[in-house]
A and B are shown apart, each in its own frame.
Chain A
C-alpha cells in the first residue's frame, strides 16, 4: 500500500492507495508516528483508492483510535466504498473512527 501525507484545511490527511493489509503495517505505523508530533485538529484516512482491506487493517485502525484517544484530535475515515466499506461496517469500525463521504464532511462534522 502507498501512503501519502498532505494537509487539507485543519486536517492531516493520509491518502492510502492499494491493498490495506498486514504488509502495510510498518508504513502505516510510521506515518501515524509522524502525525503524533503534529497539532492538526483532525487526522483523516482517505481510503478512496484502497482496493482491499483485511483483518490486519482493521486492527491497525483500532490501534490508531486507541493511540489518539487521549489527544484532542479527531480521527475520520473518508471515501470508503464497495467491499472496503462492507468490511468496515461488519467490524463496526465506525464506532471507533467515524466514516465520511468527503474530507470536508469530516471537518464539518460535530464531535460525537
Chain B
C-alpha cells in the first residue's frame, strides 16, 4: 500500500492543517473510509448522509472544503451546488463533486451547476488526496481574498464616516441665510462635486457699519482642497484679519492671503473674490485674485460683471491687488459664484457660460433672491444633464434694500 500524501504541502498557499472538510455521501462504508483518510491528514471531518443535511451543515459550519456525492437522498449533489452558489453567505465554498459516472458530459454538467472540481469514485487514493489538497489551497486563497475584501470594506466605511464628519464641519463654516444686516438679505446654494468641496463662501459683519463677504475656490476636489479652503476661511475671519489691518480693505486682505498661501508643491492654489460693503456710504469695494464669478444685477435688470484679470493667490509672492469701488442702489443684487456653475459642461462639452447665466438671471429678475439661486442651479443642471457637476458649484447672493 502506498502511503497517503502528507497533509502539509510545500506550496506557498498551503492549507491550514486544522482545515475542516464536509463529506456528504449516503454510502456508509465509502464515507467512513474517506473520513478516516482525511482525519489521518490532520483534518477535521464533518459528515452528512443526504443533501439536505449536508447543505444545513455547510451553512452552519462553513467548512473549508466539501466533498459531495452526486447521487444522494433528499437533494442530489448538483442541486446542493446550485443552492450554495445562490446563497451570498456561502457562495465561495469550495466543492468537489464525486460520482461513479465520469463521462465528459456529466463532468461538464457538474461544473456548470456549481462544482469547483470533479472526482471519479474510481479515482486512486493519491488523486483523491491531491484534489483535496488542491481544493484546500483554493479555499485558503479565497478566504484570504475575502478577509482582505472585508478589511477594505471596513476601512472604506471608516473613511466615508470621516468624510461625512468633515463635510458636516465644512457645512458649519457656511453662513446662515437671512438678513445679515439691516436691509441686506443674503442667500446661497451649494453643490459640491464630491462629499467634500473646495469652494467656500461667507458673509459676515466686519463692524456695525460694514460687511465682509467672499467666495473662494481651492483648486482640485476632495479632502486636501477642503482643508485648505477651511484654513483660508479661518484666515478671513474679521477677528483674525484685524491682526493685519484696521479697515475692511479687500486688496489688503488678498495681499496678506497671497503671502500666507503660496502655490503648493503640487500646484494647488486659490482663486478668490472679496468684497466689503459700507452700509453708510452704500459703497462696495471689491478685489479679486483670478476669480471671475461675481456680478451685480441692478434693480433695473442690467448686469455688470465685477471682475478684472489678476493672478490667483500664491502665484507671485509680491503680488499687489487693486480694490475697485462701486455704488450700490436699493434693489441691486450682488451674486458670487464658483466657476463650477458657469463652466458646467453639456454632453457635447460646450460650457453653460456667463452669457447663458446672465440670460437666466434676467428671466428670474423679479423672483425673490431665495428662489433665484436654486433656479440658476437648476438651469445649470439642465444644461449639464446630471445633478452632480464635475466641479463644485456655489452661489452666494446679496440683495440690498432701501
Contacts and interface: CB of A to CB of B under 8 A. Distances in A.
Contact of B267 (A52, A56, A83): A56
B391 to A, nearest CB: 7
A51 B310 contact: no
Interface in A20-62: 22, 25, 51-52, 54-56, 58-60, 62
Contacts of B391: 54
A89 B349 CA distance: 20
A92 B289 CA distance: 9
A66 interface: yes
A90 B309 contact: yes
A108 B125 CA distance: 86
Interface string A52-95: 10111011101101100000000000000001000001111101
A51 B349 contact: yes
A95 B220 contact: no
B271 A91 contact: yes
B268 interface: yes
B316 interface: yes
B292 A90 contact: yes
Given A59-B263, A62-B269, A92 B311 contact: yes
A71 B391 CA distance: 35
Contacts of A1: none
A17 interface: no
Given A22-B220, A55-B217, A63 B267 contact: yes
Contacts of A93: 311
Interface in B231-271: 263, 266-269, 271
B146 to A, nearest CB: 33
A60 B267 contact: yes
A52 B292 CA distance: 17
Contacts of A92: 290, 309-311
A91 B219 CA distance: 12
A96 interface: yes
A56 B311 contact: no
What interface size band does chain B fall in? 20 to 34
B290 A56 contact: no
A85 B217 CA distance: 20
Contacts of B309: 89-90, 92
Given A55-B271, A83-B351, A91 B266 contact: no
DSSP majority for the A interface?
helix
Given A90-B290, A92-B309, A92-B311, A59 B269 contact: yes
B219 A58 contact: yes
Interface string B282-316: 00000000101000000000000001011110111
A55 B292 contact: no
Interface in B190-236: 217, 219-220
A91 B291 CA distance: 7
Contacts of B217: 55
Contacts, number: 57
A58 B263 contact: no
A60 to B, nearest CB: 5
B311 A96 contact: yes
A37 B25 CA distance: 74
Nearest to B270: A55
A3 to B, nearest CB: 16
A25 B312 CA distance: 19
A54 B292 CA distance: 14
Nearest to A57: B267
A62 B264 CA distance: 10
A59 B311 contact: no
Contact of B315 (A22, A51, A56, A62): A62
B219 A56 contact: yes
Interface of B: 217, 219-220, 263, 266-269, 271, 290, 292, 307, 309-312, 314-316, 339, 349, 351, 391
Interface of A: 22, 25, 51-52, 54-56, 58-60, 62-63, 65-66, 83, 89-93, 95-96
13 contacts: A52-B349, A55-B220, A55-B271, A56-B219, A56-B220, A56-B267, A59-B263, A62-B269, A63-B263, A90-B290, A90-B309, A91-B311, A96-B311
Given A62-B314, A83-B351, A91-B312, 15 more contacts: A25-B266, A25-B267, A56-B219, A56-B220, A56-B267, A58-B219, A58-B290, A58-B312, A59-B266, A62-B267, A89-B309, A90-B309, A96-B311, A96-B315, A96-B316
